[in-house]
C-alpha cells in the first residue's frame, strides 16, 4: 500500500523518543518503585478556582462550536497580556490553539516547506524535529555548549546559516537545558535574522519559570516584531498541561495567512477551556510563583550534588523544569547511562539523544518530584557513576 511522504519523514520522530519514559510507566504499572524524572509535568495541581471556572462554563452550555481565531474573551485577554511587549497589538495578531505544540505545528506549516532549513539550538525539545520535518523542511542544528550555559551564541548561529535557512526557532527558557536568552543575546540573534531575512519563532511556554531576573521576548525589540511569531500556553505557568490551551502572537499578515491553516486543522477550540484560559490570564494565581520557587530550589540541589559526583558535569539552569547532566566522564553516553540507571537503580531520566545529536553525552533530569525524592534519585545516579569508575579502574 502507498503512504504519504509525511509518514516517512515522521516515522521515527514520534513516541519512540520516549521509550525510557514508557518503559518506566510500564514498570510502575507492574508495581515497581520507580522515581520518574522524565517529563515536564508540574507536581502541583491546577488551581481549584480555574477548574471551577471550566466546570461552570460546561454547565452554562459553553460546549458549542467556536471560531477559527478563538473565543472573543480569550483573544481580548491575550491582547491585554501582550500589549506591554507589543503596543500596537490587536485581535488580528492573535490565534488560539489547543496547546503550544499545535500552535508550533501550524506556524511551521505557514513558514516552511520542502527544502527549507530551520535553525535550532542543539540540544532541542524532542518534538521540534517532527514539527519541522512534517512540512518537508529540515533542522539546521546550532550547537549549544555547556561552557556557555547552553545559551545560543550569535557566532554559532551565523556559522550555521545556509541559503536554505528560513526560520530561527528559539525556546526561552530552554527545554531541555534551562538556558534563558537575555536582551543582548536576542538583539545579536535578531541582527542576524534581519541581515539574512529570517523569521524568528519563539516558544515561550516556560516564561513564568525563570529563577532569577526578568524574562525578555523578541516581541519587546521593535526591530524584530515584523518577523517574530511567539507561541505559548497555560500548560506550565498554571499547571494545566492536560487542558491543551495555547496561542500564537505574530504580525497581522502572518496571522491572516495562518488562520486558514488553523481552520483546516481545527476550526475552533473548546469554549469552556477558553473561558478558563481567559480567567487564568486575567487572574492572580500563585501557581507559577510556587513552581518557580520549588523548581529553582531543586535545580540548585541537583547542581550542588552533581558537583560532588565524579564523572558528572553540570551547569545551573536559569529557568524551566529540567537540569542537564553530562555523563561522558563515566565512559557511557546518555542512552547507555539512562537505561542502566533505570534497570539497576529504578530512576527514569531522559537520554540526551532524544533532544538531538548535541545531547549524546547528556541526560535530562526533571525537577518535578519532591526534594527528598530528587535527592534520592541523585544518590542513585551517584551509585551508577561510582560503579562506572570502578569498572574503568578494573579494566586499567
* 184-213 per-position pLDDT tens digit: 999 999 999 999 999 999 999 999 999 988
Which CATH number fits the domain that encloses residue 135? 3.40.640.10
Do residue 350 and residue 385 come from a single domain? yes
pLDDT of 65 above 70: yes
204, 173 contact by CB (below 8 A): no
Answer yes or no: do 142 and 258 share one domain.
yes
> Do 327 and 265 reside in the same domain of the chain?
no
Per-residue pLDDT at 384: 95
Helix (H/G/I), strand (E/B), else coil: 118:
strand
344 shares its domain with 257: no
pLDDT in tens, 218-273: 999 999 999 999 999 999 999 999 999 999 999 999 999 999 999 999 988 899 99
pLDDT at 13: 81
Are 167 and 235 in a shared domain? yes
**What are the C-alpha distances in Å from 80 to residues 90, 220, 307?**
9, 15, 44
Average pLDDT over residues 16-33: 93
Same domain, yes or no: 131 and 72: yes
Last residue of a domain, one of 282, 315, 344: 282
Residue 159 has pLDDT above 60, yes or no: yes
- Domain of residue 386: give its range: 5-45+287-395
Q: In the prediction, which pLDDT does 393 show?
A: 61
Across the range 294-318, mean pLDDT stands at 96
Tell me which H or E stretch contains 113: none
Q: Are residues 54 and 140 in the same domain?
A: yes
**pLDDT for 392:** 66
Residues 6+ apart with CB under 8 A from 256: 92
Q: Is there a contact between 39 and 354 (Cβ–Cβ < 8 Å)? A: no
The whole-number pLDDT of residue 389 equals 77
Of 11-15, 57-61, 156-160, the poorest mean pLDDT is in: 11-15
Strands (E), the chain: 35-37, 94-97, 117-122, 138-143, 165-171, 199-203, 228-233, 246-249, 313-314, 322-326, 347-351, 362-366
Q: Which of 282, 312, 328 is the last residue of a domain?
A: 282
- 135-140: average pLDDT: 98
- Examine the domain organization and report whether 36 and 54 are in the same domain: no
What is the rounded distance in angstroms from the CA atom of residue 327 to the CA atom of residue 309?
A: 10
Indicate the average pLDDT of the chain.
95
Q: Mean per-residue pLDDT for 360-389?
A: 95
Judge if 294 and 268 occupy the same domain. Answer: no
Instruction: Specify the CATH number for the domain of residue 22.
Output: 3.90.1150.10
The stretch 330-336 carries a mean pLDDT of 95
With contact defined as beta carbons under 8 Å apart, do 248 and 106 qualify? yes
The helix/strand/coil state of 42 is coil
Residues 250, 384, single domain; the answer is no
Look at the chain and report how many structural domains it folds into: 2
Q: Looking at the structure, tell me whether residues 232 and 179 fall in a common domain.
A: yes
Q: What is the mean pLDDT of residues 44-65?
A: 97
Distance between CA atoms of 337 and 391, rounded to whole angstroms?
Answer: 14
Cis peptide before 3 (omega within 30 of 0): no
Say if residue 175's pLDDT is above 80. yes
Q: Is the pLDDT of residue 14 over 80?
A: no
Q: Are 95 and 70 in contact (CB under 8 A)?
A: yes
Q: Record the cell numbers describing residue 204, joined without a space.
A: 515561550
Read off the pLDDT of each residue in 11-34 and give the average, rounded to a whole number.
90
CB atoms inside a 10 Å sphere around CB 344: 12
Classify the C-alpha dihedral 368-98-173-131 as positive or negative.
positive
What percent of the chain has a predicted confidence (pLDDT) above 70?
99
Give me the mean pLDDT over the 55-79 stretch: 96
Confidence at 394, pLDDT banded by 50, 70, 90: low
pLDDT level of residue 313 (50, 70, 90 thresholds):
very high
Once rounded to an integer, what is the mean pLDDT over residues 318-342?
A: 96
138: cis peptide before it, omega within 30°?
A: no
Among 249, 282, 315, the domain boundary falls at 282
Looking at residue 18, its pLDDT comes to 87
Is the pLDDT at 99 greater than 80? The verdict is yes
What percent of the chain lies above the pLDDT cut of 90?
92
- Show the cell assigned to 86: 507589543
Q: Span 359-367, mean pLDDT?
A: 97
- What order of strands is seen across the sheet that includes strand 117-122? 94-97, 246-249, 228-233, 199-203, 165-171, 117-122, 138-143
Residues 261 and 218 reside in one and the same domain: yes
Instruction: Tell me, rounded to whole angstroms, the distance of Cα 1 from its chain centroid.
Output: 36
Amino acid at each position: 500500500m502507498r503512504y504519504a511522504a509525511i509518514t516517512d519523514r515522521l516515522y521515527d520522530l514520534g513516541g519512540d523518543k520516549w521509550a525510557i519514559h514508557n518503559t518506566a510507566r510500564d514498570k510502575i504499572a507492574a508495581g515497581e518503585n520507580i522515581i520518574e524524572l522524565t517529563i515536564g509535568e508540574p507536581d502541583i495541581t491546577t488551581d481549584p478556582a480555574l477548574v471551577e471556572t471550566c466546570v461552570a462554563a460546561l454547565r452554562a452550555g459553553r460546549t458549542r462550536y467556536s471560531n477559527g481565531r478563538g473565543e472573543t474573551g480569550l483573544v481580548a485577554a491575550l491582547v491585554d497580556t501582550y500589549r506591554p511587549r507589543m503596543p500596537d497589538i490587536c485581535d488580528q495578531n492573535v490565534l488560539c490553539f489547543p496547546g503550544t505544540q499545535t500552535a508550533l505545528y501550524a506556524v511551521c506549516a505557514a513558514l516552511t516547506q520542502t527544502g527549507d532549513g530551520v535553525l535550532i539550538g542543539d540540544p532541542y525539545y524532542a518534538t521540534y524535529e517532527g514539527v519541522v520535518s512534517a512540512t518537508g523542511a529540515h533542522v539546521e542544528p546550532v550547537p549549544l555548549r555547556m561552557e556557555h550555559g547552553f545559551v545560543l551564541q550569535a557566532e554559532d548561529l551565523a556559522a550555521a546559516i545556509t541559503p536554505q535557512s528560513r526560520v530561527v526557532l528559539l525556546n526561552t527558557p530552554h527545554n531541555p537545558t534551562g538556558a534563558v536568552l537575555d536582551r543582548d543575546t536576542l538583539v545579536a540573534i535578531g541582527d542576524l535574522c534581519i541581515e539574512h531575512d529570517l523569521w524568528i519563532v519563539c516558544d515561550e511556554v516556560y516564561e513564568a519559570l525563570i529563577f532569577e531576573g526578568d524574562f525578555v521576548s523578541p516581541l519587546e525589540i521593535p526591530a524584530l516584531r515584523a518577523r517574530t511569531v511567539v507561541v505559548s500556553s497555560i500548560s506550565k505557568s498554571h499547571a494545566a498541561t492536560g487542558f491543551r490551551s495555547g496561542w500564537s502572537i505574530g504580525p497581522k499578515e502572518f496571522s491572516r495567512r495562518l488562520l486558514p491553516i488553523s481552520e483546516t486543522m481545527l476550526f475552533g477550540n473548546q469554549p469552556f477551556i477558553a473561558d478558563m484560559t481567559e480567567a487564568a490570564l486575567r487572574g492572580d494565581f500563585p501557581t507559577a510563583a510556587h513552581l518557580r520557587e520549588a523548581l529553582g530550589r531543586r535545580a540548585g540541589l541537583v547542581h550542588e550534588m552533581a558537583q560532588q559526583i565524579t564523572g558528572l558535569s553540570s551547569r545551573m539552569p536559569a529557568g524551566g523544569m529540567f537540569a542537564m547532566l553530562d555523563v561522558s566522564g563515566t565512559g557511557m553516553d546518555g542512552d547507555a547511562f539512562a537505561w542502566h540507571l533505570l534497570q539497576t537503580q529504578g530512576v527514569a531520566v531522559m537520554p540526551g539523544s532524544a533532544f538531538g545529536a548535541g545531547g549524546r553525552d547528556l541526560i535530562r533530569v526533571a525537577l518535578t518530584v519532591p526534594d527528598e525524592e530528587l535527592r534520592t534519585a541523585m544518590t542513585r545516579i551517584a551509585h551508577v557513576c561510582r560503579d562506572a569508575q570502578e569498572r574503568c579502574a578494573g579494566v586499567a
